Structure 1
Amino acid sequence: MDRLQQVIERGNEDELYRLIEQEADLFDRTFEDPVANTPLHDAADKGQTQVAMEMAILKPSFAQKLNRGGHSPMHLALRKKHYRTARALMTLNPELIRVRGQGGITPLHYVAGEKGDNEEEVQALLELLAEFLCACKSSIEDLTSQCETAVHVAVKNHNLRAFKVLLGWLKRVYPREILNWKDQDGNTVLHIAVLERQPEIIKLLIGHVKVNAKNFQGETVLEIFQANPSGDPGLAKSLRLGCLAGLFSRNLPLSQLLSVEPTLFEKFKFQFGYQDESARDIILLVATLVATATYQVGLTPPGGYWGDNTPDPAANSTVATANSSGVAVENPHQAGNIILNGSKLYQFMALNSTVFLVSILTIWITAVPLLPQTLPVYVLASLAGYSFFSTTVIEFPKSDRTTGDLIVNFCMVLLGLVLVLPLCWHISYRLLTGGTDAARRRVGNLLELKDRK
């Protein structure tokens, strides 16, 4: 062991391998204790990056072990400000960012709370924080033993610059509803910012969090602010406006929400929210192909279009007649009208429009449970539907226009109803489930809740 310590002190990876050749069981005989201080801990603590990396490659389990102080090698590297070593370990295994140490603190929590002693160190910590977030996105969900996210930690430590990095990342990459998660006292990030009197953070949070949320003492942000005024009248006004905007949300407790009858939107989600993603992909693919085919057929009907207007102006106001030699005169028409007419035209348009409408509805049904993320798909499908039916009206011959208008208008009204109803259900559902649960996730995503790894 003395020789191994000397190798770590010198930071020579070649000596490390020579020692392993001499003692093959070097890493196995003394470090089976789940809370042992491994050689990797020593190397990380001393900032010997190359030796630490070789050890982590040879014995990956060492990188996730905690010593008796409750620290992993990455924790030790960060505590001793060996940021190069911490970054190297991260590149080897990004999941090391999620290792919980003493107090449930992960390396991400630690970096979010550290301010640094000088500008150079501050910049290094901010860069490391950004790299941690990008390397392991799910690390933002990890909680300390006090149910705190990295955002909670940054605000509690008055680390404004780290908070800005976290907020900017949440806006770009991850759902901002993490800002509404509560710690063990029921406080969201905004509650903490008000309690700690941090007006800059409060201003940044307004518009991104639920101002009406209550902590476990039953206090809203505005009530806490009024009890601990910061002397900023503009901030007080912003909080009041946020509370007024939140009055439309009922903020039901979780137990009360689960006790009431499911809303129409919830029933719709459970009925059509396909759990199997492959099944959803197949349905979307087939519906899209059918919609494309029927749209194309609608634009190129059997027989095509007239290429010119009826030569005889009088024929435009009459039905087909015969000339003096008994040759039939063409039906009155205009360039661009469908040549097909009569009952065959009605049958073709009714059948093709029905199939197209059903395919659009299928796309909607698949997209509705995933609102608001699928709103662009919802809107684009609607525009495609209205474009199709508007084009159909233009193509109908004048003699068949009345019946054609009836078919098309019926389809467009049905399209509008099916478009509006799910959106109304979704809006009412979001207003009802505007609260958060006791510790972390939004109540509004019950269908999507999965075990987080």
Structure 2
Amino acid sequence: MDQRLFKAARLGDVAALNKLLEEDPQILEKLSLSPSAENPLHIAALAGKTDFAKEMIRMMPSFAQELNQDGYSPMHMVSARGNVEIVGELLTLGGDLCLVRDKDGRTPLHYAAMKGRVNVIKELLFQCPKAIEEVTARGETALHVAVKYYQFEALRVLVERFENMDNQYWELIDAKDKEDKTILELAISTKQHQVVEFLHEKGVGTLQGEQQIVEEANTMAEASPPNLERQPDESAQNAILVAASLIATVTYTAGLSPPPTIWKEGMKLDPNCIFHPISRTSTSIRSSLLAPTNTCPAFSFYMFMSLNSAGFFSSIVVMLLFGVGPGLRLLLLAPLSFMMLSYLSLALTMSPDGLSILVIFMITIFFLGVFLCYCAWLYRKSLGQLLSKFRQLLGECFSYATRTTSETTAAVWKKKTPGEDVP
């Protein structure tokens, strides 16, 4: 195609088209004989240039029948774009343009249904009612396509257009695609509750005993609140486990090696650290709160250890919650328990006195309680139910361990030689 003609079609420049025709009156006829699959009407239709498209239709009506290299006619393009004016202009050439198929057997009505172009659907059905009967290479009617691409308004227009034509109406509603699905079955399989309700109102639910299917769809569509029994998918679980393990590693390291701004290596134990007198001068107060002395850690040490410990223990809780299956939970339970005990024992040795460690872990327990309450709110469960979940996890681990031990013992005894006595 002449690039000047291509540009004029893309921009919708009718004046440029007329100028080209003055230079070469046969330019459009020559184009129709060229091997190029795309013509100016395709370009104007795709760009939505109405005036230019009208000129092309008037000058070269044969362009309306041609398919481009992708298998689309100009009618396919304007139907998908929703340009009713060009659709109407093309239909003046004949209703058979409604039935032109692309390489997948789809008509312009299929494209209008796919994109939800309600006005185009009305125009096509008014000019060419037979278009509703056409199916794609996959056996899909325009109704199937509307449901498949979640275009409820398009489906409503299609159904209501033929609602009063009893025989044809039920044939369309009952039509099955190559996968042997009606539009109702397709809507149910894709959980389109609004479509199922609409078809039920139109009497489709009583057809071929499908009332039961509709009821199942209604039940399926009722969303239950999220809870701990509804687990995320495998990829989300893996991501949560990785994040929790990373947090546990970082907080474990930070707890056993506090930054030097709040803790000095070799700091002497002082049983009166937590009651260490603070000077009333602003400089001394700031120094006492933020900087450690030779014998006592800074006051901020207590907050740091409390928050860090809360982060560590909550990450352990998350790892136990999102471990998949009792087997994995059992494998996680032992090493995580040992890690928690080692953290506690080393935290005890770092604390100046027993009262200090008590204060730290009281604050830690408070933050853990806040975390558990948040989990309970998030999953809409009471704190008691959340704790029951932990007991259930421990029970699963114990049952799994007992069962595995029994099976292993039985397997060992089976391998004993026939001469040995089995107790």
**TM-score after normalising by structure 1:** 0.43
Bigger radius of gyration among the two: 2
Give me the TM-score of the superposition, normalised by structure 2: 0.45
User: Higher relative CO (CA 8 A, sep ≥ 6), structure 1 or 2?
Assistant: 1
